[in-house]
Copies of this chain bind each other. A is one copy, B any other.
Amino acid sequence: MAREAWAKWGEQDERGALNQIGAEEVKRAFGLVRNGKVMSLAQPLSAETPVPGHRAPMQHFMGRDGGDYAAGGKRPGGFQFAEDTVIMAMHFGTHIDALCHAWYDDKLYNGFPSNGTRSTTGAARCGVEKMGSIIGRGVLLDLVALKGQPLGLGEAVNREMIEHVKVEKGDIVLIRTGWLETKLSSPDYYDGEPGIDVGAARWLAERGVAAVGADNFAVEPIPFPPEKVFPVHQCLIRDFGIPLIEGLVLAPLAEAGASSFLFIAAPLPIRGATGSPLVPLAVL
């Protein structure tokens, strides 16, 4: 692996491949809108939303609710209200990996030292608050349609299988493996998954994509190739500065026959966070 895109957008850059989207790409993307139908690609979020074994489920607490009034709570001026608090991992449900999320050799994308990511401060560099919003051309790479069925556990998608797709600079490429739609409600959802291998990932990166997403939890095949651990994360996030979007709901988009569309997403600008729950929208 190598420092593929380092310094490409300046030595202080923290947005990586999102820089591939300029005003031109944004305008072109708006030009894709046909009927104005808006689709959310996000999972619903609750204490039941699946999480991997090492993360805690979301907790949602009411600080005030209708029950308080039923129990006799006062209503000054007639006013009643409810409010609430959540405890939520940032890599939860449908979410984006910020460029500080994954690395190797103690260096993040663009060479920033991983020592800058600490308990006391979060990520000093490449935190999710540096990403800004993502508006561009979305491209659905529908491997379920290609293969005629959902991909299986550990199944790797290589470059040959995807290079027929027209991918352009600044595109947000969304890969449908069928994993989420067939496995999310199953206890083995997080045991492994199909996904793109490093060769396919590099091919996308070399096309100049701005972001890569998938309908699984890690974009890449698990179990990993021998002696590798999250090699696609290492390659795309750290070498190329390409953020990953995970846990996407893509079946309805495929059913709608959308192959390219306006893609819109805005991570929560949490200072120093390594990712954010995301509600990506596709506009047809």
Residues in chain A within 8 A of chain B (CB atoms): 23-24, 26-27, 30, 33, 35-38, 40, 42-47, 55-73, 75-91, 100-106, 113-120, 122-123, 129, 132-133, 135, 224, 227-231, 233-234, 264-275, 277, 279, 281, 283
Q: Which residue of B lies closest to A89 (CB)?
A: B85
Beyond A26-B36, A37-B23, A44-B269, whether A102 also contacts B81 by CB under 8 A is yes
Measured between beta carbons, the chain B residues less than 8 angstroms from A23 are: 35-37
- CB pair A77–B228 under 8 Å, yes or no, is yes
Contact of A46 among B60, B102, B119, B271 (CB under 8 A): B271
- CB pair A135–B38 under 8 Å, yes or no, is yes
Measured between beta carbons, the chain B residues less than 8 angstroms from A274 are: 62, 81-84
Measured between beta carbons, the chain B residues less than 8 angstroms from A120 are: 63-64, 68, 73
Known: A45-B268, A65-B67, A119-B119. 17 other contacts (CB 8 A): A23-B35, A30-B36, A40-B266, A55-B63, A56-B57, A62-B62, A62-B119, A62-B274, A65-B123, A77-B230, A78-B234, A79-B104, A81-B233, A84-B90, A85-B88, A87-B87, A266-B281
CA distance A35 to B71 in the complex (A): 44
- CB pair A71–B115 under 8 Å, yes or no, is yes
Beyond A70-B71, A231-B77, whether A62 also contacts B118 by CB under 8 A is yes
How many subunits of this chain does the assembly comprise? 4
- CB pair B229–A79 under 8 Å, yes or no, is yes
CA distance A73 to B65 in the complex (A): 13
- CB pair B85–A115 under 8 Å, yes or no, is no
Q: Which residue of B lies closest to A65 (CB)?
A: B117
Q: Which residue of B lies closest to A265 (CB)?
A: B266
- CB pair B281–A135 under 8 Å, yes or no, is yes
Contact of A86 among B66, B76, B90 (CB under 8 A): B90
